């Protein structure tokens, strides 16, 4: 994913959390293929055997703690699903519950080659601790709303979780226009101006949401209304962005906002198909997220990538719409930039060692006519051989090295759901 660099045969060298060399290997060592350039022995040398190394996928919208609700409340409209099923269960969840449920989600992220997540959920500190303990890179986004997380909490987490060289960071945000008073949204805008920081939120997910906003705010659609409050003065973006007006598109162009598309969730909840091809035509950056495991129900970036391009082709009645390489760029590069992870966008010296190895020896990857198109159109989790974050291998050939016994994580999640059901 480095600019103007095609796939090539070579080597990647890592020191600590950083990539220190990418090239064909000529002259990179000290005459001994077991040594680094300074003559020190490698801790480990991996022969990739002709398979593909690439930057990890960035899941640019998720709610990890909702693993609890996977296949628990399906086949319902969004409003009924949220108000009658999700919110009542979430009201009983503790920070400790969310810690353990987040660890379960991390296991699934690793099997999908996801090396960073953009997470919005209820208890930021326990989520951060879970990701630290598992080795997952996590950017959280504030979820201020009328009935739960306050703007004071968002400001506190912004200060506490943005520490140098940490796996965790934090971006300002709120749940959605329809769950926030104008007074609360004004406080979010004040925070954005104080820190000169971007803001993210759920945006234009359903037609009913957009219509409700128009009725509440003199005909203004969500993006236009929020921009009128100064919320997007320092950038940011929206999750879903399905029902976008011409004026909304202009706000995204003017403010340089990111549109984070979540195709599987939007299909399952019958919310609609985002206008991804139009975003690209207008120069609006698009990133990809899975949404949470209650609405998807699968934290699988391969499925999301295929749906992004497949649905765009159907929506535009154009089989050439949204090329596979553009989709890979969304999943690896745009997601990283939306999350503020500018040091995790490519395999290049100085970048963070967040990468995956893709098995090209599986039948679904042969022949190698075009590797990028193979990944997007025929790739799956079965092709993820290794997931590395911050220079540490956390998943390799079916085994996890993420700090906990997998069976214990499964058992704890089962205990939590049984308790809450009771």
How do residues 304-334 score in pLDDT, each as one tens digit?
999 999 999 999 999 999 999 999 999 999 9
Q: Is residue 402 part of a domain?
A: no
Same domain, 380 and 324: no
Query: What's the confidence (pLDDT) of residue 41?
Result: 82
Q: pLDDT: is 222 or 422 the higher one?
A: 222
CA distances from 308 to 14, 84, 264, 381 (A): 33, 30, 9, 17
Tell me what pLDDT residue 72 has. Answer: 86
Same domain? For 152 and 17 the reply is no
Question: Average of pLDDT values for 397-422?
Answer: 93
Residue 28 confidence (pLDDT): 63
Range of the structural domain that residue 324 is part of: 55-338
**Rounded to whole angstroms, how far apart are CA atoms 320 and 312?**
9
Asked if residue 30 has pLDDT above 50, the reply is: no
Question: Where does residue 46 fall: left (phi above 0), alpha (psi -120 to 50 degrees), or beta otherwise?
Answer: beta
Q: How many domains does the chain have?
A: 2
Residue carrying the six token digits 């698009």: 286
Residue 32: predicted pLDDT: 45
Q: What length is written for the chain?
A: 422
User: How far apart (Å, rounded) are the C-alpha atoms in residues 389 and 110?
Assistant: 9
Average pLDDT over residues 188-200: 98
Residue 353 confidence (pLDDT) above 90 = yes
Q: Name which residue leads in pLDDT, 354 or 27.
A: 354
Residue 123 in any domain: the answer is yes
Q: What is the mean pLDDT of residues 62-79?
A: 89
The domain that contains 374 carries what CATH number?
2.30.40.10
Q: What is the mean pLDDT of residues 111-125?
A: 98
Together in a domain, 383 and 265: no
Q: What is the largest CA-CA distance in the chain?
A: 72
**Mean per-residue pLDDT, 171-198:** 98
Mark residue 121 as left, alpha or beta (left: phi above 0; alpha: psi -120 to 50; beta: remaining).
Answer: beta
The pLDDT of residue 81 is above 70: yes
Residues 6+ apart with CB under 8 A from 221: 204, 210, 213, 214, 244, 245, 247, 248
User: Quick one: pLDDT at residue 27?
Assistant: 63
Main-chain phi, psi angles of 350, to 5 degrees: 95, -20
Regarding whether 305 and 274 lie in a shared domain, the answer is yes
Report the pLDDT value the prediction gives residue 322, as an integer from 0 to 100: 98
Question: What integer is the mean pLDDT of 161-185?
Answer: 97
Query: What pLDDT is attached to residue 77?
Result: 79
Reported confidence tier of residue 362, pLDDT bands at 50, 70, 90? very high
Q: What is the mean pLDDT of residues 254-267?
A: 98
Does the pLDDT at position 9 exceed 50?
Answer: yes
310 and 372 in a single domain? The answer is: no
232: in domain = yes
Same domain, 305 and 376: no
pLDDT band at 33 (very low <50, low <70, confident <90, very high): low
Task: Please indicate, yes or no, if residue 1 is contained in any of the structural domains.
Answer: no
345 within 8 A of 337, measured Cβ to Cβ: yes
Question: How many Å apart are CA 15 and CA 26, to the nearest integer?
Answer: 18
Same domain, 114 and 232: yes
Banded pLDDT at 86 (limits 50, 70, 90) = confident
pLDDT at 31 over 50: no
Do 117 and 185 sit in the same domain of this protein? yes
Residues whose CB is less than 8 angstroms from the CB of residue 282 and which lie 6 or more positions away in sequence, other chains included: 249, 252, 253
pLDDT reported for residue 73 = 81
Q: What is the CA radius of gyration of the chain?
A: 21
Q: What is the mean pLDDT of residues 258-276?
A: 97
The rounded percent of the chain whose pLDDT value lies above 90 is 87
Q: Give the pLDDT mean for 406-412.
A: 96
- Candidate from 22-31, 140-149, 413-422 with smallest mean pLDDT: 22-31
- Whole-number mean pLDDT of the chain? 95
Q: What is the pLDDT of residue 255?
A: 98
State the average pLDDT over residues 410-417: 95
Q: Give the β-pairing of 258-261 and 384-389.
A: unpaired
What's residue 29's pLDDT? 54
183 located within any domain = yes
The verdict on 125 and 154 lying in the same domain is yes
- Read off φ and ψ for residue 53, nearest 5 degrees: -100, 135
pLDDT grade, residue 38 (50/70/90)?
low
User: Is residue 199 located within the same domain as residue 134?
Assistant: yes
Pair (214, 298) in one structural domain: yes
20-23-26 Cα angle (round to 5): 105
């Amino acid at each position: 994913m480095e600019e103007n660099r095609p796939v090539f045969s070579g080597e990647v060298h890592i020191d600590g959390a950083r990539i220190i060399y990418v090239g064909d290997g000529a002259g990179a060592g000290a005459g001994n293929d077991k040594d680094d350039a300074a003559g020190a022995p490698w801790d480990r040398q991996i022969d990739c055997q002709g398979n593909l190394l690439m930057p990890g996928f960035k899941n640019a919208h998720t709610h990890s703690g909702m693993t609890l609700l996977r296949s628990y409340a399906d086949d319902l409209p969004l409003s009924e699903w949220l108000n009658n099923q999700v919110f009542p269960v979430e009201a009983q969840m503790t920070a400790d519950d969310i810690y353990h449920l987040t660890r379960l989600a991390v296991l699934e992220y690793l099997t999908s080659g996801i090396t960073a997540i953009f997470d919005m959920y209820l208890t930021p500190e326990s989520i951060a601790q879970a990701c630290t303990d598992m080795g997952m890179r996590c950017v959280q986004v504030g979820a201020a709303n009328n009935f739960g997380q306050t703007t004071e909490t968002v400001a506190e987490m912004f200060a506490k979780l943005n520490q140098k060289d940490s796996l965790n960071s934090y971006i300002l945000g709120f749940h959605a226009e329809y769950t926030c008073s104008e007074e609360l949204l004004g406080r979010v805008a004040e925070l954005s101006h104080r820190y000169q920081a971007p803001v993210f939120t759920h945006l234009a997910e359903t037609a009913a949401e957009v219509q409700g906003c128009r009725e509440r705010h003199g005909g203004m659609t969500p993006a236009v209304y929020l921009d009128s409050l100064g919320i997007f003065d320092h950038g940011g973006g929206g999750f879903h962005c399905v029902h976008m007006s011409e004026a909304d598109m202009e706000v995204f162009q003017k403010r340089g906002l990111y549109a984070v598309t979540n195709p599987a969730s939007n299909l399952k909840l019958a919310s609609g198909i985002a206008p991804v091809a139009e975003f690209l035509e207008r120069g609006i950056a698009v990133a990809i997220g899975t949404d949470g495991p209650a609405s998807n129900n699968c934290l699988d970036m391969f499925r999301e990538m295929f749906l992004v391009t497949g649905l765009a082709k159907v929506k535009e009645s154009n089989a050439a719409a949204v090329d596979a390489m553009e989709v890979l760029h969304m999943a690896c590069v745009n997601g990283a930039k939306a999350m503020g992870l500018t040091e995790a966008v490519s395999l290049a010296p100085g970048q963070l060692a967040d990468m995956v190895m893709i098995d090209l020896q599986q039948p679904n990857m042969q022949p190698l006519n075009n590797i990028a198109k193979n990944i997007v159109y025929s790739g799956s989790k079965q092709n993820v051989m290794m997931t590395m974050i911050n220079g540490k291998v956390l998943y390799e050939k079916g085994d996890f090295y993420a700090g906990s016994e997998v069976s214990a994580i499964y058992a704890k999640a089962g205990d939590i759901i049984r308790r809450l059901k009771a």
